[in-house]
Amino acid sequence: MSGAPSSSPRSSSSRTGAVPLAIAGAVGAAIAATAGPIAAVIAILALLGTPLFAIMGGASELAWLFNKDPAYHHLRFIAPTVLDERFADSPILVTIPLFTFVGYLMAESKTPDRIVRASSAFFGWMPGGLAIVCIVASAFFTTLTGGSGVTIVAIGGLLYPALRKQGYSDAFALGLVTTGGSLGLLLPPSLPILVYSLVAGIDFNKTFKAGLIPGLLVMVLLAVYSAYVGVREKVQRPKPRLHEMAGAFWLLKWELLTPVIILGGLGSGLTSLDESAGLAALYTLAIEVWIYKDLSLKKDLARIAKASMALAGAVILILAMANAVINYVIQEEIPKHVLEYMLSLGLTETWQFLIVMNVFLLVLGMLMDGFSAILVAVPLIIPFAARFSLAPFHLAMIFLLNLEIAYCCPPLGLNLFISSFRFNRSVVSLYRVVVPFVAILAAALVLVTYVPWLSNVTVRGDIAAARAAAGDSPPREAWLMECVQEDRSNPQPCSAADRAKWPNGRAIEPSGDKPAAASDEDDLMKELMGDPSENTEKP
């Protein structure tokens, strides 16, 4: 999350101001001709800058009121997925405001300065050292704060003038700090990973593990490019100094314990997700107020809490309204109809689906903030992913890496507008400078998309353990981790061998014999009601 106003969840149109009325009218007329007047009105309101939660909530209400079945003409049908246990009782709803509060505390303190100093001490002596510092510091800060805006404002604001002073070109420095705002979304304890796990119904601890290699891959590719630029532009770099490394690390030691508290508690099982978030919030408040003394309880706490809770409330409101839309989408089996239509067009190969999905997610990520894109897109693509037997953690990494690219991709990437505001540059002037970085992220996306091993290798041990625990029974828990399941309550085999051994997800019964459960039930009925065959006289 971000302390910058520009990072708050909102409709995409609010990034650039409302679309001119003439353009909105033209788009509305085109949509009316193809999808009807209701869809046209919703599109026009969105283009004119109506808040995203209002668009989602209003659209779901209209969808139910105009349903072809009169039995559904009630507003109460927007509520089930908002109020059921899967959403209302999710610990992530508590986690969002707590992690947002942690991010605001760090952004308002001198944490960014300490992160930059430590990164400079450890990486500044390398070729392209200060640029690598920007990559590492941005990724680390984003994992703790959850959003790109604060990273650009805090880390980018510190490092852009330093990069220029050390001799990096203006284009490279601007492109790097703009791209750095979205780094870290794949690394734990990233808030987008938590939201994605909630919507997709997968274990967030395992998703954290799955994101390690893809997240580090992105950073390594950017670091290699930065080293190349540093050598090409003959940037001077300082010599490594062990005492500076030790001093910077010692100064940052308290902030470094924050992810240890979160991940250590989750990994050991000592704390649940919401408990880890609560401990992290209390710990961060304590170190910033009483150890570092960067903040004051009287002067700063109320202001920071108010700003962070306003943003967290906006995120939760969007989550609730998006769930209302999802309720309608699932009820009307819209993904199934879309899948059938796509298959009728010849979309039958996995590589074809992956290309279409990546383009769709990239466009959606530019038009919506990350949380809204997750809530809108995940229920739509899960039936497709299940049809093509994608692994759930592989799909998660593809999705989140697309968001990472969309944040800085021209023409509507959110980072472009935040960077434009922070560094007083026109948005159009940033298009060219981010192209090399977007190309590197796109290369990482291709690798992650077509090399599933990168996303799955860290969870293979969990899959093997689930299979071992199942014994001779169908390993349903393993199937949930091996391939996307359209119905997670009835997981199906993922491999040809498992489908042959357990057709339809069930063990094959010996021919001529009744299943054990059915046999036990028949015996019980005979005891209670008597066996008719015993009363039949033989001729």
Instruction: For the chain, give every domain's residue range.
Output: 1-83+316-331, 88-313
Which of 141-155, 173-187, 346-360, 420-434 is predicted with the least confidence, judged by mean pLDDT? 141-155
**Given this model, what pLDDT does residue 357 score?**
87
Confidence of residue 86 (pLDDT cuts 50, 70, 90): low
pLDDT at residue 252 greater than cutoff 60: yes
- Per DSSP, 538 falls in state P
Contact 116, 110 (CB under 8 A): no
- What is d(CA 471, CA 347) in angstroms, rounded to the nearest whole number? 37
Which distant-in-sequence residues (6+ apart) come within 8 Å of 519 by Cβ?
513
**Given this model, what pLDDT does residue 448 score?**
95
- What is d(CA 209, CA 190) in angstroms, rounded to the nearest whole number? 12
**Given this model, what pLDDT does residue 353 score?**
86
**Given this model, what pLDDT does residue 20 score?**
61
Q: Number of C-alpha atoms within 13 angstroms, CB side, residue 297?
A: 7
391 or 189: whose pLDDT is higher? 391
Q: Considering Cα of 397, then 398, then 399, then 400, what sign does the dihedral take?
A: positive
Q: Quote the pTM value.
A: 0.73
Collapsed DSSP state (helix, strand, coil) of residue 84: coil
**Given this model, what pLDDT does residue 519 score?**
47
**Given this model, what pLDDT does residue 218 score?**
95
**Given this model, what pLDDT does residue 80 score?**
55
**Given this model, what pLDDT does residue 199 score?**
83
- Per DSSP, 113 falls in state H
- What is d(CA 135, CA 483) in angstroms, rounded to the nearest whole number? 33
- What is d(CA 228, CA 264) in angstroms, rounded to the nearest whole number? 36
Strand intervals (E) in 336-483: none
Query: pLDDT tens digits for 493-528?
Result: 998 899 888 988 777 665 555 454 444 445 544 554
Share of residues in the chain with pLDDT > 90 (%): 26
Which of 31-40, 217-226, 249-258, 445-454 is predicted with the least confidence, judged by mean pLDDT? 31-40
**Residue 526: alpha-carbon gap to chain centroid:** 55
Q: Which two tokens stand for residue 30?
A: 């085109």
The DSSP line for 131-189 is: HHHHHHHHHHHHHHH-SHHHHIIIIIHHHHHHHHHHT--HHHHHHHHHHHTTTTTTSTT
Output the CA–CA distances (angstroms, integers) from residue 437 to 106, 182, 412, 431, 446, in the order listed: 27, 11, 16, 11, 14
Output the CA–CA distances (angstroms, integers) from residue 323 to 6, 38, 79, 526, in the order listed: 24, 20, 9, 48
Q: Which two tokens stand for residue 14?
A: 């609010």
Q: Buried (b) or exposed (e) across 8-34, using 16+ Cβ within 10 A?
A: bbbbbbbbeeebeeeebeebbeebbee
